[in-house]
Structure 1
């Protein structure tokens, strides 16, 4: 099976030159940085319990559960905290933490409730504000957060085996294979 660093390299190609720095470090694009990816407990913790609840809610809005499991089932909130703890420098973490604070403040102002407990439609509206740069630091937050969610999801076991069709050794070459019989994107 593909290892997480290999999957990160594949995801890095998707994001190109706009790759969030912690992802580049974890994928091995930064010279001299080649340490094992931590799969144990996060040390030191990055999020407060309220921030963790918000990250969890927003992850599910970016990669929701449909006919396949979503971001929460794939462990994306833990992945994000690992990335920020193990691979991010202070400025990288600040982009995410400041964005979470801006979303929380806007939710309390507009909905009189914390963003984690807002309705899915309200959370979508908050993420849209961030994406469109209508929140302080929102555009940078959204782009980096989205990269973390998508990368965390598609490098997880669920993302590789359930969302995509995992073929460790693809079968024969067939240049005229009909896409209608694929139904999923292949990963290897």
Structure 2
């Protein structure tokens, strides 16, 4: 199974947690023309920003490591470059730059220099602005969706954040589910 198909399957499992615009890219984007790929580039600093952004959405808890540990700092830019049309890539890159500008305007610091409360405030503001503008494709929506998709398709997401039953094993369509138990990653 190729990466796109695997990610599409994870997106289906996540259901409405992923926006319709990201789902559309995954469903119809099996053939992004080569001339549309890699329209934008991301620096190692951008990858670090995206790792920290994702880690605010899915932080480390006592039961599982967070998004940063799952490698989302490199996953998000790779997905944007390889799977999204050129127009969306440019929207994402522009939004990342605007987020950095917002940090400088609000705190006179870049995103990586902000403390956790300031970073959370930036994310809440971005979310609010996205909702108010009724944007279906924005930096915030794409980064959030790829955070969920990447995390729950990663080894950490499947084995620590969710209940894991290694394969090979027998199929049990009536596996017991205890109240408070993690959702199954495999069955």
TM-score, with length taken from structure 1? 0.77
- Which of 76, 81, 98 pairs up with 1:80? 76
Deviation at 1:122, TM superposition (A): 0.5
Gaps of 5+ in 1: 35-42
Name the structure 2 match of 1:161.
Answer: 159
The CA deviation at 1:49 is 3.2
**How far off its partner does 1:107 sit?**
0.7
Taking the aligned partners of 2:113 and 2:132, their CA distance within structure 1 comes to 21
In structure 2, the CA distance between the partners of 1:163 and 1:31, relative to structure 1 (3 Å rule), is closer
Name which of 51, 55, 58 aligns with 1:56: 51
* Aligned-pair CA distance for 1:100: 1.2
Root-mean-square deviation (CA), in Å? 3.2
**Runs of 5+ consecutive residues of structure 2 not aligned to the other structure:** 33-37
Q: 1:179: how far off?
A: 2.6
Q: Could you say which structure has the higher helix fraction?
A: 2
TM-score, normalisation: structure 2:
0.77
Q: What is the CA-CA distance between 1:9 and the residue it aligns to?
A: 1.5
Q: Tell me what 1:8 maps to.
A: 8
Distance 2:115 2:29 in 1: 43
How many residues end up aligned between the 2 structures? 174
| CA shift in 2, pair 1:130/1:186, >3 Å | same
Paired residues for 1:130-169 under 5 Å: 130-133=126-129, 140-167=138-165, 168=167, 169=169
Does structure 2 retain, via aligned residues, the 8 Å contact 1:102–1:136?
no
